[in-house]
Structure formats: C-alpha cells, structure tokens
Amino acid sequence: MRSKKFKPMASHESTNPDTIPFIPEEIMYNVFLRLTVRDLSRCKGVCNSWRSIISSSHFIKTHLSKSTNDPHFTQHRLLSSYTPFNSDLQLKSCSIYSLLNEPHNIEALELEYPDTITYVVGYCNGLICLTGRGNYVFFWNPSTRNSRKLPMLDTITCRYKHITYGFCYNELADDFKVFAVATTDWKHEMSVYSSKSDSWRLIGDFVSYKLPSGGYLGNGAMHWLVTPNLQLKDVPQRFPYIISLDVIRDTFREVMLPNCGEAIMTWSVGTFCENLCVLRKMSLDARVELWVMRDCGDQDSWIKLFTIPHMDRLNRSLYVTPTPICTSVNGDIMLLVDSTIVLYDTKDNTFRDLLNNRSCLSSKVYTYVESLVSPSL
C-alpha cells in the first residue's frame, strides 16, 4: 500500500479529519494486534477505516491466535460458575495473569449473561456456550457482551430424561459445533448443531452407561467419561471408559483409560494444554496422577506427566479430585482443589493458595481468551 505524504500541522490549524496525519494501514494493523478487546471496541468508533480493519475476519482470527499463544496469559480469563442456595446460576471472572502474578489484589467480577442460564457447556475461541431453560442453547462472548440464541433442538425422537452437551470448533471447516446427547434409561441419541448450516441434525444413537453433564474437547475430539449404570441388567458392566467423538466426521468410538494396575478411588476427565487428560486419585495415599493422551484414540499414547503428592484437601473427601487449569511459564500447574485455586510447584512439590473465596468458585471452572469473535458468526 502506498502511503500518503503529509506536512506537520501548524499551530493555527484545527484538528479536523483533513489535517490528521495519515498512518499506513499496515502500521495500524500491527498496533491493533497489541490492544485488548476493550480498547479495540473503543477504537472501532473512531473512524470507518479503523472499524474496517478491526472488524475484518482476518484481523479477528490473527488477534485471537496472538492472544491464545501468549505464554503469560495476559488475555486469558478464568470463568467460574456456581449456584448459591435458592438462587440462579452466577458467573464470575478474573484475570489469569493477575491470578499468577498479583493474587493478593485479585477480584472476581460478576458477569451479566443473556436470558435465564442453567449451565455452562464449554468455551471455544472466546465464545462461551450456555444452556437455558427449555433446552435453549446460547453463544455468548463475555468480552464484547454479545450473544445469540441457537435454533431450538428439534431432532430428539426418544423420551429423554436429560440432555448432555458438548461445544467445540472445527478449524478445518471454520465451523462451531454443539453436540447434544439425549439420554433414556438404556441408550443415548446424539444430535449436532453446525454454525455453517445454523441447524440441528441427528447423527446416531448408542447403548451405554451414565454420562456426566458436559463433554471435554481435547486432541480435536469431544470426550465424555462413561461410568457403569447398575440399572442395566442385560448390558455387560465394564471398567469406566471414554466416549470419543470426532468433530470433523461426527463419528464416535470408545477410548480406554490408562491401565496402571493400582487401586483407584476416583477418575476425572478434562483438557490440559489442548490434550485430553485424566486425573486419577489413588485410594491408598490420596495422591493424584495426571495422564495426557498424545494421539487421539491411541491407547498406547497415554503419558503420565506428573504425580501430585498427598494434600490435606484431597483427604477430606473421597470425591475431591483436582482440576487442571493451566501451566505457567516456569512449569507450575494451576489447579482447582475443593473450591480453591491452587498453584502447584512441580519442582519442590509445594502448594500455594491463589484464590479461596468459596462464594466465588465451584467445582466448575473454565478458561477463555478475550476475543472479538462474534456469536452471530
């Protein structure tokens, strides 16, 4: 792009658009990449050329990529969901960068979300997927405060007891997907919503056991931990395993958990550094192991990253298992343990509380990156 020449503005000249110095678009583009979403939202109102740059799909994706890959988490936020007694779901958010570097000054801010929300499904590219009463699903960007209600789920044919959801992004097709699993006493019907078609379709059913309330995205697939259902008499009971759903082909298969031959108290599934992970709490000494699957669906690719030694919090309840949140630059692990955000030093096996306000946290925490991605897509 050829830049325009300009002369210095004299002291008697007024600051009207004709006398503002011209700044090449490529320079402004690089400047904008370093700004926060809040600052960029303000810049969009300065002039049409700035709005055009910031609103372009190329800039939005580039800004998101830069923020996502920032090792210091300056644009990452922690989202916690909790339901006070006799009250509606509440969401609070705080900066992960501040939590790691200024934990004594951290403040969790309550967020205003759209409509009446009952559950947080998941997060992708700065968008949060929420479910509301009546099985309505929403896309919501907490950074820009924009939201959109998806079409009503109309593909269910069974008389279901409850619905489990999962949320993901198919990068190859530039397509946001929501998976809905309608559960009866003996089988599950799976439907998928595609932002490309803006509609739901039924993709199959399978006989299985109990699924948890939400799926986890890792290694490019959605995963649900399957636990035995004692009410099923005709279906063989097996060791807990994982249902893995290919988000590109919309096909699912079984993935076995790591087989270590020790007595296990509890399992939990999550996402760690974009990989599927499982945490297993050992029954004898309350230590917890974190395992990561390197290759999706490959039983032999499970790798034990580290073992969390005995913690008093882990001994209080049989079912308290830490949830990994992120890894700091120096390798420390941020965990949610019994409603407390804890930083675990993997070098000397020590723990440091970062945030322990029970009124702000629950057993569900999520991380998201501030972005300009629109829920309208």
Residue 371 has pLDDT above 90, yes or no: yes
Instruction: Please compute the mean of the pLDDT values over residues 3-21 and round it to a whole number.
Output: 44
Q: Which helix (H) or strand (E) holds 67?
A: helix 57-68
Cβ within 8 Å of residue 274, ≥6 positions away = 218, 219
Q: Cα separation of 225 and 191, whole Å? A: 18
pLDDT tens for residues 167-225? 999 988 999 999 998 887 677 788 999 999 999 999 887 766 666 556 788 888 888 88
pLDDT tens for residues 181-191? 888 767 778 89
In what order do the strands lie in the sheet containing 127-132?
117-124, 127-132, 136-141, 146-149
**Is residue 226 a contact partner of residue 235, using CB atoms and an 8 Å limit?**
no
Residue 20 has pLDDT above 60, yes or no: no
- % of the chain residues with pLDDT over 70: 79
Give the residue carrying structure tokens 């609070």.
92
In this predicted structure, what is the pLDDT of residue 318? 47
HEC string of 92-120 equals: EEEEHHHHHHCHHHCCCEEECCCCCEEEE
pLDDT tens for residues 302-342? 998 888 776 665 555 545 567 788 888 788 888 887 778 88
Q: Cα separation of 254 and 259, whole Å? A: 15
Ramachandran angles phi, psi of 197, nearest 5°: -95, -15
pLDDT tens for residues 260-314? 666 566 777 888 878 888 887 776 666 788 889 888 777 788 998 888 776 665 5
Instruction: Please compute the mean of the pLDDT values over residues 79-91 and round it to a whole number.
Output: 77
- % of the chain residues with pLDDT over 90: 27
In this predicted structure, what is the pLDDT of residue 228? 59
Query: What is the reported pTM?
Result: 0.82
Q: Cα separation of 74 and 89, whole Å? A: 27
Lowest mean pLDDT among 142-151, 157-166, 354-363: 354-363
pLDDT tens for residues 131-153? 987 788 999 999 999 999 999 99
Q: Cα separation of 64 and 69, whole Å? A: 9
**Is residue 290 a contact partner of residue 324, using CB atoms and an 8 Å limit?**
yes
Compute, in degrees rounded to 10, the torsion defined by CA atoms 203, 209, 213, 216.
-70
Topology at the third CATH level for domain 17-55: Monooxygenase (1.20.1280)
Residue 122: which of 81, 160, 153, 82 has the closest Cα?
81
Domain ranges of the chain: 17-55
Residue 88 or residue 85, greater confidence: 88
In this predicted structure, what is the pLDDT of residue 265? 62
Q: What is the mean pLDDT of the chain?
A: 80
